[in-house]
Amino acid sequence: MTHSSAQSDAPTKTNLLQPGKTIGIVGGGQLGRMLTREVRRMGYRAVIFTDEYPPSPAGQLADREINAPYYDPEATAEFVREIDVATLEFENIPAEFLTAVAQRVPVYPSQHALTICQNREKEKNFLRNHSIPHADFRVVDSGVSLGTAVDELGLPCILKTAAFGYDGKGQRKITQAEDWDTVWREFGASRGVVEQWIDYQCEVSVVCARSIAGDISHFPLAENIHVNQILDTTIVPARCTDGELEKKAQALATEIAVALDFVGTFCVELFIAQDGTLLVNEMAPRPHNSGHFTIDACRTNQFEQQLRAVAGLPLGDPALQSGVVMKNLLGDLWLSPTEAPDWSSVLAEPNTKLHLYGKRVGRPGRKMGHFCVLGEPETALKTADRLFTELLAQRRS
């Protein structure tokens, strides 16, 4: 990490950023928005850098947003002049931009951690090199190597792009022998990873935070249900596990965070295989959709932990205050691209908290908001499903 001498009050092991200082947030989406809310609540300033048009979901709540391409040197200089530390809300940030920012202010997490988490090939190799359990995989770059990988791993398996995948984009399940040259050409990526298909019992995630001093704090294990490879529901406490498995998952997350020398909030997604073993699916170097429940159900939420970590503060208490079910609200529920559903039924439920991200246009698959139902998970799940079905019915009526 390069610090300029002008940044003498930058966070170090012995020096923290007090409220009043400015947190730079790279990215303008909903994760940046929820981070911004915590930043301002605690008396810090928030400045967003995004290549989106204003007002971005995060920019709507921030003190300032800078809207420019990531290669714009003047906008980058303006950003670093305003801020005391930088953090991020998405991982596909051009390396040149972060390098330029890191020359003037500390950036957490580090470029090194980001480089590994933003590329599936590097991420899988990292897991293999650190003997962290994961689904067997092969790296492919042609129809021939794809055919060999499928032969070695067996069917079914799943082909994923090495770079720029999210919400299941750039993925293709392979269930039978095909013409591999055609599959590879149509897939359209220059490099990919083929993974063994895991017939899992359940998907879970661990969100944790690591401070500059190296302290680590974990949120409780979350059970995740995906629909069309996009997170649909998170249930906490997870039903499909016991305390033992939770400890193991948290230990794996700690091992990864320490090996990456990670600072900030971090998420590890895992599969619980049929025989009960844990396999790491992927890592996110930032707060995660499966950690949104922490806002309504934990004493400290994943965004406050991110702020605390990057500002050099001690981490907060992550204790769960209530069972909770989080349900994602995608643009598929919108009545037209600009017309949101009527929220009356959600708003009428006293134990339910609605979160909307300030996005003007609802497109299929786009994350527009979420709600959390607090309470014992089985009951909360019934309420969440009923509310969701009612929202969906508006679309169909």
Report the residue number, 71 or 166, with the smaller CB distance to ligand ATP: 166
Other Cβ atoms within 10 Å of 216 Cβ, number: 17
Q: Which does 226 bind (CB under 5 to 8 A by kind): ligand ATP, Mg ion, none?
A: ligand ATP
The upper half-sphere exposure of residue 197, i.e. CA atoms within 13 Å in the direction of its Cβ, equals: 14
Q: Which does 195 bind (CB under 5 to 8 A by kind): ligand ATP, Mg ion, none?
A: ligand ATP
Q: Which does 198 bind (CB under 5 to 8 A by kind): ligand ATP, Mg ion, none?
A: ligand ATP
| Chain residues in the site for ligand ATP (CB under 6 A) | 135, 158, 160, 165-169, 195, 197-198, 203, 226, 229, 269, 281-282
Minimal distance in Å, beta carbon 369 to ligand ATP?
A: 17
Minimal distance in Å, beta carbon 363 to ligand ATP?
A: 16
Q: Which does 203 bind (CB under 5 to 8 A by kind): Mg ion, ligand ATP, none?
A: ligand ATP
- State the binding string over 259-288 for Mg ion (x if CB under 5 A, else -): ----------x------------x------
Q: Which does 229 bind (CB under 5 to 8 A by kind): Mg ion, ligand ATP, none?
A: ligand ATP
Report the residue number, 234 or 352, with the smaller CB distance to ligand ATP: 234
Report the residue number, 83 or 283, with the smaller CB distance to ligand ATP: 283
Q: Which does 89 bind (CB under 5 to 8 A by kind): ligand ATP, Mg ion, none?
A: none
Minimal distance in Å, beta carbon 190 to Mg ion?
A: 21
Minimal distance in Å, beta carbon 87 to ligand ATP?
A: 19
Q: Which does 355 bind (CB under 5 to 8 A by kind): ligand ATP, Mg ion, none?
A: none
Report the residue number, 17 or 272, with the smaller CB distance to ligand ATP: 272
Report the residue number, 103 or 229, with the smaller CB distance to Mg ion: 229
Report the residue number, 68 or 230, with the smaller CB distance to Mg ion: 230
Kindly list the residues in this chain that would bind Mg ion in the complex (CB under 5 A): 269, 282
